[in-house]
Chains A and B, each alone.
Chain A
Amino acid sequence: MIPVLLGVTIISFSIIHLAPGKPTDIMTELNPKITPEARQRLEKYYGLDKPILVQYGIWLKRIVRLDFGNSFSTDSRPVIDKIWDKNLPLLDRKLSITLLINILSISLILLFAIPIGVYSSTHPYSFFDRVSTVFVFLGFATPAFWLALLLMMLFGVKLGWLPISGLKSLNYSSLSAMMQVFDKAQHLILPVFVSAFGGIAGMSRYMRSSMLEALRNDYIITARAKGLSETAVVYKHALRNALLPIITILCLSIPGLIGGSVIFETIFGIPGMGQLSFQAIMTRDYPVIMGLLFITAVLTLIANLLADVCYAFADPRIRVNKG
């Protein structure tokens, strides 16, 4: 795990620093009076004048102490404060916002995909199965940002039922606690649904084929032969085995979900990690970009680790073999 993480940081650091152009160019390009000396001073101030290996060494030394450095933007705040601002309530911090949306959307995906997949596999080529197949292909092909636009147009502009941007209404602070939760939920419906939509389609497809595979096994015949009810055969014997590949696919999809946050947080104006990363990318805020890439890589690795744990949980064979 550590070597992979180290490799990821090396790749991202070199991509970011070797790309043509420097953040100081963007800061100074609108200032016609800037002298080359001033530009050099600026580069020195941000430590960009040192050789890239030295810069990486400095970054690495800091990151071990969980110090991500200071942002290049005019506020020069520590990167960690931008992502995890201790002055804000827990749920308003950028990392929590993005995690909340992603966890909600993963839950939504599993909540829909598993029953759809199980039903389709136990009733293959039925009417429901055909309809869900069509839905799956449409779901795969629908660009998330387009779906977001359509839903904003329908529910936000035409019907006026749901807010189309931000996480809170303007009068949020004057609402009662109950209404605050309701207000936030209202703001979250569209983003969560949009980010889950493609996943529901994909995951129910995987669930279907994984279940079909599991149902073909000999132990299913055994289970039926010894007179178990169909419910027990499907949910206890087949489903448990069919869930194994699903765990892997779910964990592999996590970097994609986090990357997707950039798109829908920008569209819906949600102040999370995705929006922060888009701003950081546009202003070449190196420390923020590196910090975000690092955090997403760590999250992905944690998800992989979780997958292994879930595997052991779902499959006793793995527990026994690996001790």
Chain B
Amino acid sequence: MQIKTVTDRFSKNRLAIAGLAIVTVLFIIALCAPFIAPYDYKTINVRAILMPPGKAHLLGTDDLGRDLLSRIIWGSRISLAVGFVAVGISTVIGIVLGSLAGYYGRWIDSTIMRFVDMMLCFPSFFLILTVIAFVGPSIWNIMIIIGLTSWMGVARLVRAEFLSLKEREFVLSAVTSGAKDLRIIFVHILPNALTPVFVSAVLGVAAAVLVEGALSFLGLGVQPPTPSWGNILTSGKDNIEIAWWLSVFPGLAILLTVLGYNLLGEGLRDALDPKFKS
């Protein structure tokens, strides 16, 4: 597939471009957080508790007088980190298990796919909650556990790609020229199977950001004083009757992030594989 046709198709899709713009801006904000945040995110100011949005504090302050805008800006780092590391973990697991199942077939395939069925049987959010509560909430634990519970889709995708690719001539020629199994899997077949995996990884970041938000909101995610959009919303809930801004803005940040990654992912899918375009 020519790269030019892909970029052409992508750039004609306005929604996809909007997604790319949102994602890029979020990246810049996360990278430059120390420079663009107007206040320090953890300085408590007893004289500015629960101030509504105004000149001094653009988005208001929280119940400890900390600047909400600065906390949201720093929170974007958490979301980004959780999203990427979790997706990295789930993608690697999904690729390895999916390739093994698809390439070897037989009992390896049926064992792995039964395992996938079992994992899909769990209410994954409940499982994540349980494990986090047991091992203790920390940003690393969240990343690892979200990753460990969300690889099933990737595994199924990779397996399906392998099933059709392994019958093709270039694989046969690799086999007859004496290449080892691992070489055939990772050098010959896998690169051809990566397109849908890439798309699902972009969409996976959005899903991971949502899960992190929910976990932190329930108090089982990133722990204060480290700001995360989810744990700011917890204080929004505690002050629901007096401080609307604490509930509205962090949620908007989550919404925009997830929207951005979803639009980008769908746009990439349409651009990379015109079959899906309906």
Determine the distance from Cα of A4 to Cα of B250 in the docked complex, in whole angstroms.
40
Say if the beta carbon of B165 comes within 8 Å of chain A: no
Q: Report 27 cross-chain contacts, Cβ distance below 8 Å, ordered by A residue.
A: A7-B115, A7-B118, A8-B122, A11-B118, A15-B134, A137-B259, A141-B258, A141-B262, A143-B255, A143-B258, A145-B217, A146-B213, A146-B250, A146-B255, A149-B233, A149-B247, A150-B248, A150-B251, A153-B247, A157-B240, A208-B278, A262-B218, A263-B217, A267-B237, A293-B122, A293-B127, A296-B123
Interface-side segment among A16-24, A28-36, A166-174: A16-24
Query: How far in angstroms is the closest Cβ of chain B from A120?
Result: 10
Using a CB-CB cutoff of 8 Å, which residues 106-129 of chain B contact chain A?
Answer: 114-115, 117-127, 129
**Which one of A7, A19, A145, A209 lies within 8 Å of B233 (CB-CB)?**
A145
**Which one of A7, A141, A277 lies within 8 Å of B255 (CB-CB)?**
A141
Say whether A141 contacts B121, CB under 8 Å: no
**Which one of B122, B134, B206, B258 lies within 8 Å of A20 (CB-CB)?**
B134
The 10 closest A-B pairs by CB, nearest first: A259-B123, A146-B251, A259-B125, A19-B134, A141-B258, A141-B259, A255-B123, A7-B118, A259-B126, A281-B133
Query: How far in angstroms is the closest Cβ of chain A from B39?
Result: 24
Q: B120-150, CB under 8 A of A: which get 1 and which 0?
A: 1111111101110111000000000000000
**Which one of A4, A21, A263 lies within 8 Å of B114 (CB-CB)?**
A4
Query: How far in angstroms is the closest Cβ of chain A from B82?
Result: 14
**Which one of B117, B210, B240, B248 lies within 8 Å of A143 (CB-CB)?**
B210
Count how many pairs of residues, one from A and one from B, have CB atoms less than 8 Å apart in the complex: 137
Say whether B130 contacts A16, CB under 8 Å: yes
Query: How far in angstroms is the closest Cβ of chain A from B158?
Result: 19
Give the B-binding residues of A (Cβ under 8 A). Answer: 3-5, 7-8, 11-12, 15-16, 19-21, 124, 137-138, 140-146, 149-150, 152-153, 157, 208-209, 212-213, 252, 255-256, 258-260, 262-263, 266-267, 277-278, 281-282, 284, 289, 292-293, 296-297, 300-301
Say whether B135 contacts A293, CB under 8 Å: no
Determine the distance from Cα of A297 to Cα of B123 in the docked complex, in whole angstroms.
8
Say whether B126 contacts A262, CB under 8 Å: yes
Determine the distance from Cα of A7 to Cα of B118 in the docked complex, in whole angstroms.
7
Say whether B124 contacts A256, CB under 8 Å: yes
With contact pairs A146-B233, A153-B244, A256-B124 given, residues A138 and B255 touching in the complex (Cβ less than 8 Å): yes
- Specify which chain A residues have a CB less than 8 angstroms from the CB of B255 in the assembled complex: 138, 141-143, 146
- Specify which chain B residues have a CB less than 8 angstroms from the CB of A289 in the assembled complex: 130
Say whether A255 contacts B130, CB under 8 Å: no
Say whether A137 contacts B130, CB under 8 Å: no
Using a CB-CB cutoff of 8 Å, which residues 210-267 of chain B contact chain A?
Answer: 210, 213-214, 217-218, 233, 236-237, 240-241, 244, 247-248, 250-251, 254-256, 258-259, 262-263
Say whether A297 contacts B122, CB under 8 Å: yes
- Specify which chain B residues have a CB less than 8 angstroms from the CB of A15 in the assembled complex: 127, 130-131, 134
Give the A-binding residues of B (Cβ under 8 A). Answer: 15, 114-115, 117-127, 129-131, 133-135, 206, 210, 213-214, 217-218, 233, 236-237, 240-241, 244, 247-248, 250-251, 254-256, 258-259, 262-263, 278
18 further A-B contacts with Cβ under 8 Å, apart from A8-B118, A138-B259, A278-B218, are: A7-B118, A8-B121, A20-B135, A141-B258, A143-B251, A143-B254, A146-B233, A149-B247, A153-B244, A153-B247, A256-B124, A256-B125, A259-B124, A263-B218, A292-B126, A293-B122, A293-B126, A296-B122
- Specify which chain A residues have a CB less than 8 angstroms from the CB of B117 in the assembled complex: 4
**Which one of A8, A258, A263 lies within 8 Å of B214 (CB-CB)?**
A263
Main secondary structure of the interface of A (DSSP, over half): helix
Query: How far in angstroms is the closest Cβ of chain B from A207?
Result: 12
Task: List the B residue with the shortest CB-CB distance to A304.
Answer: B121
Say whether A140 contacts B120, CB under 8 Å: no
Query: How far in angstroms is the closest Cβ of chain B from A146?
Result: 3
Query: How far in angstroms is the closest Cβ of chain A from B7?
Result: 22
Query: How far in angstroms is the closest Cβ of chain B from A274?
Result: 8
- Specify which chain A residues have a CB less than 8 angstroms from the CB of B262 in the assembled complex: 137, 140-141
With contact pairs A4-B117, A263-B218, A278-B218 given, residues A141 and B125 touching in the complex (Cβ less than 8 Å): no
- Specify which chain B residues have a CB less than 8 angstroms from the CB of A301 in the assembled complex: 121
Determine the distance from Cα of A142 to Cα of B233 in the docked complex, in whole angstroms.
14
**Which one of B114, B233, B250, B258 lies within 8 Å of A3 (CB-CB)?**
B114
- Specify which chain A residues have a CB less than 8 angstroms from the CB of B278 in the assembled complex: 124, 208-209, 212-213
Task: List the B residue with the shortest CB-CB distance to A257.
Answer: B123
Say whether A143 contacts B129, CB under 8 Å: no
With contact pairs A15-B131, A137-B263 given, residues A149 and B237 touching in the complex (Cβ less than 8 Å): yes
Say whether A282 contacts B133, CB under 8 Å: yes
Determine the distance from Cα of A281 to Cα of B210 in the docked complex, in whole angstroms.
21
Say whether A146 contacts B254, CB under 8 Å: yes
Determine the distance from Cα of A4 to Cα of B240 in the docked complex, in whole angstroms.
44
Say whether A4 contacts B121, CB under 8 Å: yes
Say whether B121 contacts A300, CB under 8 Å: yes
- Specify which chain B residues have a CB less than 8 angstroms from the CB of A263 in the assembled complex: 125, 214, 217-218
